[in-house]
């Protein structure tokens, strides 16, 4: 999201930007959501049965997602710092918030061009069963998309992480170890919200010509391997989500700048074989108060029910003019049989009517999160599935500062 352009208008003109709605409507609080099966099709279980404990190709399936969502703390349970001891992050990413404000005013008044703050982090994701955390970001100077790899060696690969801000040894152990260039050039220089499913990482790379949704094998988390599978989208895509369905196919979600959630179904049970080109666009009413998510993540319940959590801040100008950070929980009610059949019809040139849609979305819960000054959901806030019984949020600010970057954990 090009939030700094919006900031310029607000600082000078005091105009608050409107936030438009996703084609999703909040529903009543319901502890036992029901899957839509309008054709009478039954849920198909994959060859290996319910992957309740996760696998190389899947995330852990979670007991009672609604209850676990409700238990996520609104205030940070841990505050962590990763140190850029080897100057791994390009200098243009470092920004001071006060300088961003003053330079923005100067730019709008044609006094000087602003550089401070245009390059920023966009998402954060912890790699399961490791001490690795990913940040992605786009450089407004070089027009390159980057993935930053943090190695938090003072924390355990499994189990809860604790604050390291008062750990005198953390500066030597918890460091930013690598910067990877995801894309060189203006065509796809702006990465968006990431998600991880098993050994796969998905990242949208935006640019003036559209978005390329890219996939990586992170079996070796320090050396992600780009896969040939990709999805080309004509418009802007702010964030991706990824899940393995009970039929062993993959479902990729794309949060569009046009304020819709598009779902792409994989051609086979092997992600490397790619996805059908035409998405299923959710046919649900518009809701205008909390939308346009910067990050989205899929979560599968142990009975195969699919959920999505979206995160954002109420002001697109945050952190300069701050709003409220929040997260929303959705159930994605789907029909696996229809996903396959619809894509076959599309390949045959058939028209798809609303009655043929394979998925619907419904909002079940909404929760405010308190980032204080350490993070901002307008930059990045994503779900980490700790195990079958617990969820956590990892959240990052827009910029590193003073040769380090911070992030919060909410459990």
**Mean pLDDT along residues 152-160:** 94
Give the Cα separation of 384 and 238 in Å (integer): 19
Residue 33 and residue 329 in contact, taking contact as beta carbons nearer than 8 Å:
no
Number of structural domains the chain divides into: 1
Give the Cα separation of 255 and 252 in Å (integer): 10
The whole-chain average pLDDT of the chain stands at 82
Q: Which residues of 154-178 are buried (b: 16+ CB within 10 A; e: fewer)?
A: bbeeeeebeebeeeeebeebbbbbb
**Mean pLDDT along residues 109-138:** 85
Please tell me the pTM assigned to this model. Answer: 0.86
Quickly state the pLDDT bin for 111 (edges 50, 70, 90).
Answer: low
Residue 370 and residue 326 in contact, taking contact as beta carbons nearer than 8 Å:
no
* pLDDT surpassing 80 at residue 35: no
Lowest mean pLDDT among 33-37, 53-57, 154-158, 322-326: 33-37
Residue 184 lies in domain: 3-410
Determine which helix (DSSP H) or strand (DSSP E) holds 215, and give its type and residue range. strand 210-217
* pLDDT surpassing 60 at residue 7: no
**Mean pLDDT along residues 168-183:** 95
Lowest mean pLDDT among 104-118, 139-153, 215-229, 328-342: 104-118
């Amino acid at each position: 999201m090009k939030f700094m352009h919006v900031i310029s208008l607000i600082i000078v003109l005091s105009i608050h930007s409107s936030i438009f709605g996703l084609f999703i409507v909040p529903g009543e609080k319901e502890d036992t959501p029901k899957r839509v099966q309008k054709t009478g099709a039954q849920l198909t279980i994959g060859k290996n049965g319910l992957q309740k404990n996760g696998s190389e190709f899947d995330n852990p399936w979670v007991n009672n997602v609604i209850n676990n969502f409700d238990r996520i703390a609104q205030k940070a349970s841990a505050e962590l710092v990763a140190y850029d001891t080897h100057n791994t992050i390009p200098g243009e990413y470092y920004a001071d918030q006060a300088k961003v404000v003053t330079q923005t005013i100067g730019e709008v008044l044609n006094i000087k061009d602003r550089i401070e703050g245009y390059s920023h982090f966009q998402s954060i994701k912890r790699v399961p069963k490791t001490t690795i955390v990913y940040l992605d970001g786009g450089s407004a100077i070089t027009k390159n998309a980057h993935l930053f790899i943090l190695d938090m060696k003072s924390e355990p690969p499994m189990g809860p992480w604790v604050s390291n801000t008062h750990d005198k040894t953390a500066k030597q152990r918890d460091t930013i170890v690598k910067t990877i260039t995801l894309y060189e050039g203006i065509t796809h220089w702006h990465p968006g919200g990431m998600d991880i499913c098993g050994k796969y990482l998905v990242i949208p790379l935006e640019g003036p010509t559209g978005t390329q949704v890219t996939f990586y094998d992170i079996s070796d988390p320090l050396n992600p391997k780009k896969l040939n599978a990709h999805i080309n989208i004509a418009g802007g895509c702010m964030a991706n989500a990824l899940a393995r369905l009970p039929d062993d196919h993959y479902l990729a979600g794309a949060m569009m700048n046009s304020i819709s959630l598009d779902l792409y179904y994989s051609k086979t049970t092997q992600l490397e074989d790619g996805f059908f080109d035409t998405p299923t666009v959710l046919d649900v009413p518009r809701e205008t108060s909390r939308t346009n998510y910067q990050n989205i993540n899929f979560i599968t319940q142990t009975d195969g029910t699919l959920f999505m959590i979206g995160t954002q801040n109420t002001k697109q100008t945050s952190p300069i003019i701050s709003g409220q950070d929040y997260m929303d929980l959705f159930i994605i009610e789907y029909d696996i049989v229809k996903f396959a059949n619809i894509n076959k019809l599309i390949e045959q040139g058939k028209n798809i009517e609303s009655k043929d849609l394979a998925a619907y979305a419904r909002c079940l819960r909404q929760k405010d999160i308190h980032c204080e000054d350490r993070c901002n959901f307008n930059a990045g806030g994503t779900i980490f599935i700790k195990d079958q019984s617990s969820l956590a949020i990892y959240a990052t600010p827009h910029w590193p500062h003073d040769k380090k970057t911070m992030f919060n954990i909410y459990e």
